[in-house]
Amino acid sequence: MPDFNIIENQKVLYAVYFVYVCASIFTLFVIVMNLTLIYSCYNSICMPKDNTARAPVESKSRFGFVNKFRAHEDEKRREYAEYRMNKRNAKRKGKNGK
Amino acid, single-letter form, for residue 84: R
Predicted structure pTM score? 0.40
Question: What does the pLDDT look like over 47-86, one tens digit per residue?
Answer: 656 655 555 667 788 888 999 999 999 999 999 999 999 9
The Cα–Cα gap between 26 and 87 comes to: 54
Q: Where are the domains of the chain?
A: 1-47, 59-98
Question: What does the pLDDT look like over 30-55, one tens digit per residue?
Answer: 999 999 999 888 877 766 566 555 55
Q: Which one-letter DSSP state was computed for residue 55?
A: P
User: Residue 20's closest CA among 12, 8, 31?
Assistant: 12
Task: Report residue 90's pLDDT band, with 50, 70 and 90 as the boundaries.
Answer: confident
The Cα–Cα gap between 86 and 79 comes to: 10
